[in-house]
């Protein structure tokens, strides 16, 4: 006798991530387990428009002694402590073992301050101000792509001390690298393979699939962008931000799409803050086509939000044990997470 199928929100199961071509274990029966582990007290938002001790506020001296200009909007500069250097690196002597491999890596590291106001996050900024940030991301992508030896431009924001942010001033980093890093390279390969097999775009097809059931995993949408808790999400309230139109880079965005992206970013981050009424920590980053080489027409521009909070502002998801040794695992189903985020108001809880 065949067993009666049970809803996925009731039973352990695994889901396939087609972007990384890996599986994720979902264990919804664990959501109510007792917690006696570590809790993290969230740092309060300082509420200061200007902090005289902040390295990133206008006119202040950075740690290296350089003074910031009295900027009034977006401000970008070369990172004072870059992880990569643009100068040609010396050739590394070949190893006698194929298991001990190293090679030089050049790059440029930039910092981009979103706003002169020290207390503002994306969730608290006005849409026109966020649109200026999007414009700056496009400008940085364009100028860094002009360097013939740069092949990937990674724009990312670590929001909050929990995510390793060393400064609370609203800012992001831009690392332009000589080689394509592993994560975007895996996504690029998966999208190319899908295109070769199906003659269509993986993420375009995924958008169509999600729009067939908007009540399932869509968090917020407008005419040009959509934010989804992906079917294969690993982090509890992870979201994927996608343009409805197939495009590959910041430089492809029309003025209307730049504004629409700004609106979506504000909507997503506001909902995050409203979820536990705290300045929500996350790592956010954009994946776009490589700077040089083939056209990479199968690459669909998108952003990932990876927030760690699980049950409250104090309890976060840990990627340890089975996650490190086996496969990613989550308790909350993506559908439950999307429903909770979707139900939150557009207005920020502090307004």
Active centre residues (catalytic): 171
The distance of Cα 232 from the centroid of its chain, to the nearest Å, equals 15
For 315, half-sphere exposure in the C-beta direction (CA atoms, 13 angstrom radius) is: 11
Instruction: Report strand pairing: 13-17 vs 22-26.
Output: antiparallel
H-run or E-run covering 138: helix 127-145
> Residue 49 in contact with residue 75, Cβ under 8 Å?
no
Candidates 127, 154, 130; CA nearest to 140 is 154
Whole-angstrom Cα distance, residue 147 to residue 333?
Answer: 43
Whole-angstrom Cα distance, residue 16 to residue 122?
Answer: 31
- In three-state secondary structure terms, 198 is helix
| Ramachandran category for residue 137: left, alpha or beta (phi over 0 → left; psi -120 to 50 → alpha) | alpha
């Amino acid at each position: 006798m065949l067993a009666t199928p049970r809803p996925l929100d009731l039973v352990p199961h695994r889901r396939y991530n087609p972007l990384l071509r890996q599986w994720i274990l979902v264990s919804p029966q664990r959501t109510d387990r007792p917690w006696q582990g570590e809790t993290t007290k969230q740092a309060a938002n300082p509420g200061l428009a200007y902090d005289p001790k902040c390295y990133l506020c206008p006119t202040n001296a950075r740690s290296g002694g350089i003074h910031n200009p009295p900027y009034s909007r977006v401000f970008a500069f070369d990172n004072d402590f870059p992880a990569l250097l643009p100068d040609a690196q010396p050739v590394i002597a070949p190893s006698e073992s194929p298991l001990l491999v190293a090679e030089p890596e050049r790059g440029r590291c930039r910092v981009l301050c979103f706003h002169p106001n020290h207390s503002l996050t994306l969730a608290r900024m006005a849409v026109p101000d966020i649109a200026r940030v999007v414009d700056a991301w496009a400008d940085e992508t364009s100028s860094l792509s002009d360097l013939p030896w740069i092949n990937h431009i990674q724009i990312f924001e670590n929001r909050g001390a929990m995510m390793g942010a060393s400064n609370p001033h609203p800012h992001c980093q831009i690392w332009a690298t000589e080689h394509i890093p592993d994560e975007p390279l895996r996504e690029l390969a998966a999208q190319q393979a899908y295109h070769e097999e199906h003659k269509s775009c993986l993420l375009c097809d995924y958008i169509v699939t999600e729009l067939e059931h908007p009540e399932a995993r869509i968090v917020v949408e407008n005419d040009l962008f959509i934010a989804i808790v992906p079917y294969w999400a690993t982090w509890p309230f992870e979201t994927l931000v996608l343009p409805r139109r197939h495009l590959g880079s910041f430089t492809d965005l029309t003025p209307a799409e730049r504004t629409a992206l700004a609106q979506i970013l504000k909507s997503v981050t506001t909902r995050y803050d409203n979820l536990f009424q705290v300045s929500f920590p996350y790592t956010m980053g954009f994946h776009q086509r490589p700077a040089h080489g083939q056209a990479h027409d199968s690459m669909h521009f998108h952003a990932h939000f990876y927030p760690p909070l699980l049950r409250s502002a104090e309890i976060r998801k840990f990627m340890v044990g089975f996650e490190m040794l086996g496969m990613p695992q989550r308790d909350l189903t993506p559908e439950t997470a999307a429903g909770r985020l979707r139900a939150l108001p557009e207005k920020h809880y502090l307004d």
